[in-house]
Structure 1
Amino acid sequence: MLGIPERALRNGMVLPPVTERPRTQGRSGLDRWTMLTLYGWWSLVFYRVFADLASEVRRYYISYLWWVFEPVLNMAVLYLVFGIFMNRDTPNFVQFLLVGVSVWKWFGSTVANGSNSIINSKGIVLQAYLPKSFFPMVVALTDYFKFLIVLGLLLLFLWATGFPPTRAYLALPALMAAQFLVCYGLAAVLAAVVPFVPDMRFLVATALQVGFFVSGIFFDIRTVLLPKHMLVFHLNPMATLIAGYRSVLIEGAWPDAQALAFAAAVGLVLCLVAALLLARLDRVYPRIL
């Protein structure tokens, strides 16, 4: 499998395939080498993602079913508290809240886990060479897979409570792509810095708690914020993405194209900054971990 030693696989450690630049000076030779390298890198990423998912479910008695039960329990609690006991006057508040919480959970989980991905992989970093972008990418894809399960359950709940699918669902891939860029980009930037400043892990946790309450999860920004504050609020890409998901899933409307483009642009900038940091510090991490 991709030149990975069987012994390394049995020990749970993934080593990259050994590839060398072709001696030929032709462009076709370099292009072929680049394609083989990218193929090997992505193959390792997906192998590690599935290995981590399999390792996670082995720790639970109910195995893969926990990925279904956990979001179902969370949705049930929110429904009981806000839909029945508190009896909020806001129309469709339970659906409104569930969409916001589900989207934020993907973001928060990726940033929290991804920011520690390099420092938590000290054993691999010290024993074998891997491009350091490998570690936050594995976390981002793992949490994306879990979000797909949550999204499926959320859609079933919305359909059962009077919110059928509409043509606006065609915008979901664009929303998820923009959010993936934001999630991975921020997680990778933090992953590049945390090994040098380990205390930043606590700041990340605090910032995520603050972000949870200021990203419009519990309130509709269109009815709560003053017009002069809207611009500042929309500088938060997660706030615009959450509003976009609600437009699609609850209102059956297309998301704001400018807001979506802004969120995607922020994600691309974060990914670029992360790539530059990780490339520059790539050989430094083994000396400081």
Structure 2
Amino acid sequence: MRKYIEEMLKRKDLLIYLVKSGLKAEHRNSYLGYFWWLLDPLLGVLVYYFLVGVILGRGGENFAVFLVIGLVAWRWTSTTVSTGAKAILKYSSIINQVYMPKAIFPLTISFTQFINFTFGLVVVAIFLLFFGVAPGWQVVYLPFIILVQLLFLLSISLFLAYICVFIRDIDNLLTHLTRIWFYSSPVIWEGGRLSGAADAHWWVQLIITINPFAHIVTAYRDILMYQTTPQFTGLIIIGGLSLCTIIALVYYYNRNEHKIIKAL
């Protein structure tokens, strides 16, 4: 395990290179190029604001800000899940030629999408400024919430990347599973704060309680919109379990890398 981690650290230059190449490849053939990192979350907000706020006539005060925070956080989650599942398969040609720790590849995907997420935060900042929503001192908790989500997504990427090498049908199911996850999370529907959901149906509260992303997106809104301290209990549990899962999966990668090579 220790040697495996040391080998990963020795390959940090490769990790950085793969992250850079991944960022360049995303919009290599598009006219707007990197501008899509800002335009994509903005268009998402416009679509759902028109659907929920205009057509359905729902949404409360500062609903556009509510939407942009949820959609930017969700975009990081959904893209990491979808691309992380194919992380090892994507680089199978490299894996078959040169030995390197296979856990590097899902980590590469996770950090690539993390950089994309930082551009989404620029869009969030623009919305906060435009609608006159000023975060309070609680914004100092933002790095902690980002760290919790990063650990959560790293654990998912490591798990899915390994499983999809052997059960490739999972990749086909992920589109439908993430869609269910999206609509069962407080991304576009109001009442997303855990305190506000207490008066809702019991099954709504249950979904929010067991949904890690619900805690994460609620924490973002608490500090950026509502000027309140996030509920640390849920965040600490998510971060702690994610960290333990990462350690366990790295150990499992170390013991079973030969199986990955055979499956590829």
Does the TM-score normalized on the shorter chain lie above 0.5? yes
Tell me what 1:260 maps to. 235
Per-residue CA deviation, residues 86-122 of structure 1 (Å, 9 max, x unaligned), is 4325333332222212111111110111011112221
Question: Do structure 1's residue 100 and structure 2's residue 45 form an aligned pair?
Answer: no
Q: What does 1:193-208 align with in structure 2 at a 5 Å threshold?
A: 193-208=163-178
Q: What does 1:138-287 align with in structure 2 at a 5 Å threshold?
A: 138-217=108-187, 218-220=189-191, 221=194, 222-223=196-197, 225-226=200-201, 230=205, 233-287=208-262
Tell me what 1:130 maps to. 100
Looking at both structures, which has the greater relative contact order when contacts are Cα pairs under 8 Å and sequence separation is at least 6? 2
Aligned partner letter, 1:72:
L
**Matched residues in 1 for 2:5 and 2:75: separation?**
34
Cα distance change of structure 1 residues 34 and 135 upon mapping to structure 2, 3 Å threshold: closer
Q: Aligned-pair distance for 1:39?
A: 4.4
Tell me what 2:87 maps to. 117
Q: How many percent of aligned residue pairs carry the same amino acid?
A: 25
Q: Aligned-pair distance for 1:83?
A: 3.5
Computing the radius of gyration from Cα coordinates, the structure with the larger value is 1
**Matched residues in 2 for 1:76 and 1:227: separation?**
31
Deviates more, 1:239-248 or 1:224-233: 224-233
Contact kept, 8 Å, 1:82 with 1:94, in 2: the verdict is no
- What's the secondary structure of 2:31's corresponding residue? coil
Per-residue CA deviation, residues 112-149 of structure 1 (Å, 9 max, x unaligned), is 11011112221111111111111101100110000100
Runs of at least 4 residues off by over 4 Å: 33-39, 226-229
**Matched residues in 2 for 1:87 and 1:176: separation?**
32
Normalised to the residue count of structure 1, the TM-score between the two structures is 0.81
Aligned partner letter, 2:22:
D
Q: Aligned-pair distance for 1:213?
A: 1.2
Q: Aligned-pair distance for 1:34?
A: 9.4
Q: Structure 2, unaligned stretches of length 5 or more?
A: none
Q: Structure 1, unaligned stretches of length 5 or more?
A: 1-30
Aligned partner letter, 1:250:
M
Deviates more, 1:127-136 or 1:97-106: 97-106
Q: Aligned pair count?
A: 258
- What's the secondary structure of 1:127's corresponding residue? coil
Normalised to the residue count of structure 2, the TM-score between the two structures is 0.88
Deviates more, 1:131-140 or 1:84-93: 84-93
**Matched residues in 2 for 1:119 and 1:141: separation?**
18
Q: Aligned-pair distance for 1:228?
A: 8.0
Contact kept, 8 Å, 2:7 with 2:101, in 1: the verdict is no
**Matched residues in 2 for 1:40 and 1:67: separation?**
30
Per-residue CA deviation, residues 33-87 of structure 1 (Å, 9 max, x unaligned), is 9998554322221121012212333222222222222222222323333344443
Aligned partner letter, 2:221:
R
**Matched residues in 2 for 1:89 and 1:232: separation?**
21
- What's the secondary structure of 1:91's corresponding residue? coil
Give the helix-richer structure, 1 or 2.
2
**Matched residues in 2 for 1:193 and 1:38: separation?**
20
Per-residue CA deviation, residues 158-191 of structure 1 (Å, 9 max, x unaligned), is 2211211321111110000000011110111111
Q: Aligned-pair distance for 1:232?
A: 5.6
